[in-house]
Copies of this chain bind each other. A is one copy, B any other.
Amino acid sequence: MTVKRRLPGQHHGDLRNTLEQAALELVAERGPHGFTLAEACRRARVSMAAPYKHFADRDALLASLAVRCYRDQHARFSEAIASTQDAEGQLSAFAVAYVRFAAEEQALFDIAFSAGLDKDAHPELAEAGTALRDLLLPVALRIAPDNTRAFQLIVAVAASAHGLAVYHRQGLLGPDPEPFARAAELAECTARAMVNQVRLEGAGT
C-alpha cells in the first residue's frame, strides 16, 4: 500500500478510500472479523476520530464495502453472461465467475457474506441481492419452464458455487496442485449437470 507523506493537521484527501482499502487488507490478513476501526486508522496514519467524518460508525464502513462487493459481482456476472449466447454456457460461466470472484476478492466476499452485517440496518444490501436475481432470471427462464423452476435453478447453481468457493477458501478441496482450477471445474460441471437435470424433467413432463 502506498503511504502518502502528509504533514500533521493537513487534509488527507482521500481518507474514505484509504480506510476502505485498509479494511480490505485487514480482512484479507485476519479473516472476516479481523477488521477493527482502530487498526484501520493506524494503517491510514490517522487519528481514531477521523473516520467519523466519512462514516457514521464502524459498521457503515463495512456496509459500504459490502455494497461494493455486490456491485463488483454484478459487473462480473454480467460479463460472464455476455460471453456467450448459449443459456447453459451462460449459467456455467456465471458459476465459474462466482468461484473466481470469491477467490480473487476474498476480503470483499468475506465482508458481504461473513461479517454478520445487519441487513435490516443496511437495506441497500438486500437491494443488491435482488439485482443479482434480476440479472440471472432471464437466463434461467430460457431453460426452465416457469419462474419458480428458473429461480430454483439459479439458487442451486449459485449455492453450489458458493459452497465450492467456501471449501476452496478453507482448503477443504483436498490436496491439489491447482485447487482453484478444481473448484472452477466443479462449479462448471455442477451447473451443467443441473441444467441437464432440468431439461430432462421438462422433457419428461
Contact = CB atoms under 8 A, between A and B. Distances in A.
A190 B116 contact: no
A180 interface: no
A138 interface: no
Interface stretch (A64-72, A86-94, A160-168): A160-168
A173 B160 CA distance: 13
Contacts of A172: 129, 155
A155 B186 contact: yes
A193 B32 CA distance: 33
A151 interface: yes
Interface string A141-161: 000000000011001101111
A182 interface: yes
A116 B31 contact: yes
Q: What copy number does this chain have within its complex? A: 2
A36 to B, nearest CB: 13
A116 B163 contact: no
Interface residues of A, number: 34
A114 interface: yes
Given A163-B158, A163-B166, A193-B197, A182 B129 contact: no
Contacts of A161: 163
B186 A192 contact: no
A71 to B, nearest CB: 18
Contact of A159 (B32, B33, B167): B167
24 contacts: A32-B116, A113-B166, A113-B170, A114-B114, A133-B174, A151-B174, A152-B182, A155-B172, A155-B173, A156-B160, A156-B186, A158-B163, A158-B167, A159-B160, A159-B164, A159-B186, A160-B163, A162-B167, A163-B166, A189-B197, A190-B190, A190-B193, A193-B196, A193-B197
Interface of A: 31-33, 113-114, 116, 129, 133, 151-152, 155-156, 158-164, 166-167, 170, 172-174, 182, 186, 189-190, 192-194, 196-197
